[in-house]
Amino acid sequence: MKLLLAEDEVDLSAAIKQILEIGGYAVDAVFNGDDALYYAENGSYDGVILDVMMPGLDGITVVKKLREHGYGVPVLILTARAEIDDKVLGLDSGADDYLTKPFAAKELLARVRALTRRKTETLSAVTFGGVTLDPGTCELRAADGSARLTNKEYRLMEYLIRNHNAVLSTERIFGQVWDSEAEAELSVVWVFISALRKKLKNIGAGCEIVAARGVGYRLEEKK
């Protein structure tokens, strides 16, 4: 598999590139956001790794432009910011996942494996509460429009729809959606739930994700 890495710190870029190459990936490295956008749009990549803070276009702007231009390549954001709001911003911009610096080599490889993993099963569209989840386009459609979902958002939404009205614990959701990513933080579930709630609201969905305090979440039709 071939990856694009955009990281402006030369030494860190070289270290990440080496880790990925040892992991079996071919890697093109660039050092600013403008080159990242150009390479991503004109190359053929299985995944893109973007640092948030870069010269020229920042990582958030790059992923926004990729999505606006119709490029669905999976994107992993690297950020030194651990705040939840910053993570939500990255996901809302169209990133599929994020990784907070500093990180361990095995965690980076686990995230990249998950990012580029092909779905092994053939999926059909699923519907609940006036919402249709389309596996062909990774879109969520409802009365007022549609929203593109990242890979992780898609997996989470599908799991919620297939288990609608059931209270799913945070740990159970984490195990189902993030499976082998043992070093991902449990709080990532809330981050993605928050992103999905916004998208459901924006498209006029007839269902909502409700928190069962101290237990987890369930997808139910609006009353």
- Which of 38, 59, 40, 48 lies closest to 16 in space, CA to CA? 48
Mean pLDDT computed over 13-40? 96
C-alpha span between 142 and 161 (Å, rounded):
14
Tokens 């959701």 label which residue? 173
Sign for the CA dihedral angle at 173, 176, 181, 183 comes to: positive
H-only helix segments in the chain: 10-22, 33-42, 59-68, 84-92, 105-116, 151-162, 170-177, 188-202
Model pTM?
0.64
Work out the pLDDT band at 121, boundaries 50, 70, 90: very low
Work out the pLDDT band at 84, boundaries 50, 70, 90: low
In the chain, what percentage of residues exceed pLDDT 90?
Answer: 57
Domains of the chain with CATH codes:
2-116 (3.40.50.2300), 126-221 (1.10.10.10)
116 with 74: CB under 8 angstroms? Answer: yes
* pLDDT at residue 217 in the model: 96
Q: Is the pLDDT of residue 182 over 60?
A: no
57 with 66: CB under 8 angstroms? Answer: no
